[in-house]
Amino acid sequence: MNEIQRARVILKILDKTYPKITVPLKSRNVFTLLISVLLSAQCTDINVNNVTKNIYPKYYQPQHFIKLGRKKIEILIKKIGIFRIKAKSIYNLSRILVEKHKGKVPKTFEELENLPGVGHKTASVVMSQGFGYPAFPVDTHIHRLAQRWGLTIGKNVVQTEEDLKRLFPIKNWNKLHLQIIYYGREYCKARDCFGISCKICTTCYPNRIKPIKINKA
């Protein structure tokens, strides 16, 4: 089975397993989605949602976070990992949005990635989930799964993203990256399957008996 055939098999299994998919991070608008994705770095979606459920009812525009100031933002998100760094990014990007973008989240990768604390993966999530633009956000988890499933030999998330975009139809990207995340959490866990026990791994590699080593992003 070559990589194109594996991609077709994987897409079929994921569509059957997750015919309907929901965005794991809760948000009120595109701005709060951006904040939630920023907060999710080195933190679980559940933890982010538990924190933001007490923030977004009252604070959901960049002007609100500018008025709060960095120290108060730190207090609001102190249960999140590296909260001081994230609070600084939230405050600074809020100022930039108001000063340069009329308080709106920009709709291009370049403008998003110029915001403090926003990398390519975060920008991809916002473009995909916030604006419906075809994107394929790749984090370390998707990078790991793509290697287990024989979809890439990339040594970093940049190469993995290029390979996944090449193998899967553009119409599937926005849904597919979430399906992969959910499948990885439920069936092909980092410290469980190891490429030899879940349905996708055993279907794509029925003769594989040794755990597969992966290139860390």
Domains of the chain (ranges plus CATH)?
Answer: 3-21+136-204 (1.10.1670.10), 30-130 (1.10.340.30)
User: 115 Cβ partners below 8 Å, 6+ apart?
Assistant: 93, 96, 97, 106
Place of tokens 């992003």: 217
Instruction: Categorize the per-residue pLDDT at 216 as very low, low, confident or very high, splitting at 50, 70 and 90.
Output: confident
CA 5 – CA 19 distance, rounded (Å) = 20
Residues shown for the chain: 217
Report pLDDT for 13.
98
> Whose CA is closest to 34, among 159, 129, 140, 157?
129
Tokens for 114?
Answer: 């110029």
Look at residue 70 and tell me whether its pLDDT is greater than 80.
Answer: yes
Report pLDDT for 46.
96
Look at residue 217 and tell me whether its pLDDT is greater than 80.
Answer: no
Look at residue 89 and tell me whether its pLDDT is greater than 80.
Answer: yes
Instruction: Categorize the per-residue pLDDT at 195 as very low, low, confident or very high, splitting at 50, 70 and 90.
Output: very high
What's the mean pLDDT when you consider all of the chain? 95
Q: pTM of the entire structure?
A: 0.92
CA 135 – CA 140 distance, rounded (Å) = 16
Look at residue 212 and tell me whether its pLDDT is greater than 90.
Answer: no
CA 14 – CA 18 distance, rounded (Å) = 6
Residues labelled as active-site residues: 121, 139
Report pLDDT for 191.
87
Report pLDDT for 34.
98
CA atoms within 13 A on the CB side of 18: 20
Tell me what the mean pLDDT of segment 131-153 comes to: 95
Instruction: Categorize the per-residue pLDDT at 155 as very low, low, confident or very high, splitting at 50, 70 and 90.
Output: confident
CA 96 – CA 102 distance, rounded (Å) = 9
